[in-house]
Structure 1
Amino acid sequence: MKSDIRRQGIMEFLMDAGQAGVDDLALRFGVSKMTVHRDLDELEESGFLRKVRGGASIQPSSLFESDFRYRQKQATEEKQRLAAAAVAMIEPGQTVIIDDGSTAGGIARHLADLRPLTVISNNLAVIQELAGAGGINLIALGGQYSKKFHGFFGLLAEASLKSLRADVAFLSSSAIHGASAFHQDQEVVQAKRLMMVAATHKYLLVDHGKFGRTALHFLTDLSAFDAVLTGRAPEPGVRAVLDAAGVSLMVIEKGS
């Protein structure tokens, strides 16, 4: 098996398993443990996984955000609820920003009933969903494509955002600690901050599992958003911190 095909196979296995040991991977792909270590080193250097004791993981940490494909499979029902609820914040004729996150990205499939709309996004999944859709004026942000985040970032994307204005922006974040949002990647943080500057109204969509996590880079205080949408009420102590900080929290329960 060629190394690039084997590495793709390792990533596909991790998409389902979340993490794996070197011994298991060596047995699965019929190669030596040394070969597996070289594959994992290469994949880690490319930012697709993180090596842990005895193996590798694609699960997030304070320094590592998961691959877009893995995040799409996490808390799917809750993310769908949040996306459906977020549509109530949009009116026909508005300009809407949707970020690279898998949670905010789920809004795209709900926009047909709100046309006409102008949609600005660096999220390739959103761009593919809306490309050619009638009544949707789609503005795809340029920049350097990130396979890991399935979106566009960097100087070109940032320059575009600085020249645009929108009625509403929907963002996601990988970690909520206290009353602040954090993310592991500084380019992603910069893009999200510029989206917030460009929009009159701002909403954060995060599944309940993001609370109590932290990441390397501070994104913003949660009070900067008109509302934070989540699918399950946080623990009382967490809720008290949010209330004290003036955070508008909307809990979108099942059946609501």
Structure 2
Amino acid sequence: MKSDGRRQGIMDFLMDAGTASVDDLASRFGVSKMTVHRDLDELEESGFLRKVRGGASIQPSGLFESDFRYRQKQAAEEKQRLAAAAVAMIEPGQTVIIDDGSTAGGIAGRLADLRPLTVISNNLAVIQELAGVGGITLIALGGQYSKKFHGFFGLLTEDMLKSLRADVAFLSSSAIHGASAFHQDQEVVQTKRTMMAVAARKYLLVDHGKFGRTALHFLTDLRAFDTVFTGRELEPQVREALDGAGVSLTVVGNKD
């Protein structure tokens, strides 16, 4: 197997497993451990994984945000409940921003009953899902494409956003610590902040596993959102801290 195919194979395996040891990867792909180390170095440099002692991981950390495809698989049922609750905040005829996050991105497939709508997004999955859909005016934000985040970022993205206005914006975040949202990537942070600045109402959608975590870059105080949606009751001390800070939190429970 050539190096490009093997590295893609490593990523495909990590999408399912989350972590893998060098020994396991060497055995799986029939190469030396030194070759695996070189592959992991290349993938880490490109931002697709992080090397850990004895192997590699695609799971997020304070400095690393996992690949979009991996994030799509995490807490999938909870994210669908959050998306269903979020669309109740939209009225036909409005202009809606959807960010790059896998949680906010789940809204796209639920917009048909609310047409006509204008949708602004830098999320390639959202753009592909809504392209050509009747009753949806789609504004696809350009910029530099990130394979890792499956979206567009940078100065072009931000300049385009600054020329627009929206009724409502739906955002996701990789970590919630205290009453603040954080993210590992500074370009992603800047794009999200610009989305918030051009929207009249702002909602954050985060699965319950994001609470109690932190990441490198401060995104915003949670009070900047009209409501923070999550899919499961939080630990009492976490909920008390949010309530004490004046954060509006909506828990979208499982009806079963």
TM-score, scaled to structure 1? 0.99
**1:59-106 Cα distance to aligned partner (Å, 9 max, x none):** 000000000000000000000000011000000000000000000000
Matches within 5 A, 1:29-108: 29-108=29-108
1:2 has 2:5 as partner: no
Classify the secondary structure of the residue corresponding to 2:36. Answer: helix
2:119 paired residue number: 119
Which residue does 1:218 correspond to in 2? 218
**Are 2:165 and 1:165 equivalent residues in the alignment?**
yes
Aligned partners of 2:193 and 2:145: how far apart in 1? 18
Identify the residue that residue 191 of structure 1 maps to in structure 2. Answer: 191
2:17 counterpart residue number: 17
Structure 1 partner of 2:246: 246
Deviations 1:170-208 (A, max 9, x none): 000000000000000000000000000010000000000
CA distance in 2, matches of 1:162, 1:45: 32
Cα distance in 2 for residues equivalent to 1:246 and 1:75: 27
Name the aligned partner's letter for residue 48 of structure 1: F
Shift of 1:255: 1.4
Runs of 4+ displaced beyond 3 Å: none
Distance 1:245 1:195 in 2: 23
How many equivalent residue pairs? Answer: 256
- How far apart, CA to CA, are the structure 1 residues paired with 2:226 and 2:155? 28
Shift of 1:233: 1.0
What SS does the aligned partner of 1:129 have? helix
Supply the distance in 1 between the matched residues of 2:117 and 2:85 (Cα, whole angstroms).
Answer: 18
Provide the C-alpha distance between the structure 1 equivalents of 2:108 and 2:27, rounded to a whole number of angstroms: 41
Identity of aligned residues (%): 86
CA distance in structure 2 between the aligned counterparts of 1:182 and 1:175, rounded to whole angstroms: 5
Structure 1: stretches of 5+ with no match in the other structure: none
For 1:45 and 1:162, the matched residues in 2 are separated by: 32
